[in-house]
Chain A
């Protein structure tokens, strides 16, 4: 019975994807192409993109929070949510309703304008990044030719939101937390960007669509030899830090700062911050999957024709989901395993270790590219 369900689901997903046809137009391209013909069709595609992104945001938010709680519980030998829905699956939904219906508190001396703007800045930055993530050839809202640059650029909106939110709360914990978060994000942005550049160097493009296409022959993690592997590790470490997750969660260290920059937030605005935190994790994992693990591309091993066929049968969306999900699990694993770093350890790690490492790594990558030794070996 169970096997039948799984097969049906796989077939349904597979029908959503045109196997081996990996150059579907993105939703934005469809809209642009339809613009001359019929404005309604164009509007339909744009609407579909927006609605899909919003739906994905909600679903992802709910499921990631649930996953975090379950996984945390496992690590701590607890059960986690069990009551609401099947095995507690509806717990986060219930919590969301609770949050929305709560009293909306604003501290008396808060700067109301900034206090109200900050969560929306954070969420809008995240939304703008999310539309760029290619989940499958069909579920790809927009493929900017500056995709990677755009994603790191709109990340700035989140930093702005965090800083302003912490300031506007007029609370010392919030202020300290936001400054720590801001400083941490800015510092780790350096090695994060340098590790992204390694892949940009290999593909010669900033467009995420092209980056995925370039991995038809094999994932960059293997094809890029050592530099890509180092870049992948640096990327995972730096994005953990950018997400302010343990072991880098000084910005909201509960024992020191209550809850960091969102101490004073409650109700809907708190939910937004919380949502943004989890979706940012999804974006980081999705980006890592796209850049290093081939995005929606199936795993191929050179010479094993049958194996490759079978792999092709698994739909791209599932591939993307598996890779991203695996990376998200790694982030959660890290969070519930490691203790928190001290601020000086945090800074030393970035400025004395990761940054020089990723600079050298970029040079090595350039050398690898120059000598043309990439593209051989490993699963291809």
Chain B
């Protein structure tokens, strides 16, 4: 199967959605065009060649890219399926072709980003992943919060792009090449280049001090978009960091370790401490995702190793599935009672026991409770950090895990213990989202106990 097939599928689906939206009139678009292409692309991934280089090396395919593409396609598929349910993100009765098209564009950007073979492609892939996501976050035009979030996101995205472009300009100008590889001789201004590139990656990963956009954007954005931002967009940030670390910053990782450790601790602690105070569940998930990004960085503290890479990819996958489940439940509740405050989950076990159970498992997995997948993922990451000798970081990470357990259980308490008195609206459910949530929940449980997922990833790399 040709290596470019998934990208081509997504691209053509984008074009067809645009054409259909232009000419179909009131009938609107066929969502199948969007999620069908995503599902087909996901299905194609195992049959692609393991290594390929196209277009003079500007498009590369390797196992790491395949794994990332699987993550992107999975979350895009789930986002699309969530989004086509009523009410739609723009609450205009039917799903707009523009919405699906913009989502496809963001997905295409992420896929190009992981396959990029030179600096220009990398940068443009990153922009294509980010800018449509910015537009998506402001999609709910009736909701002022959505506009506010979109504005904050676009301003900070522009700032991070500016920093990143400055870094790229220095890198390309000083090394004189567009190749995505470590410069032959040490660059002048290496430190500045490194700081600028790291800032760009930090923004995508919402690592402090570049996290300021996350909470407002997650809260304001339509929930399917918040899912996209917290899963694929974050994975794209990780992929971008990987590309940098394998490319221009390859030699610089050992010098960066203290900085990365600091960033990791900062992200975990800050995300956790602020998450404790949140009342809105989407805001809460934003801070939770900031702290999760901190855990992810632990995998790098051992230096660049296959084991670390596998641990990070595995954790990323587990985190993505966990987030898809938790956000799926949030989405269902939002449809039932129109709000996403933590209070709206009170007594959920009485109202919708299935949803409550899924939410419980998803949250516990994010907190890292055995035997769920989140625990296994964190275990591998902590092991990496410990192997690198960063015991104080591991200690702090363990403390942070405990704190996170506290605030994840706050929601569980609302759902399972505070079941007396007036309960919120029940809602009728019965959407396709329920099946996806169920499948995700099963995946979380199984991935924690079946070892072959991690082993398989490690074997691939």
Consider the complex of A and B and state whether they touch directly, i.e. have CB atoms less than 8 Å apart: no
Q: Which residues of A contact B (CB under 8 A)?
A: none
Q: Which residues of B contact A (CB under 8 A)?
A: none
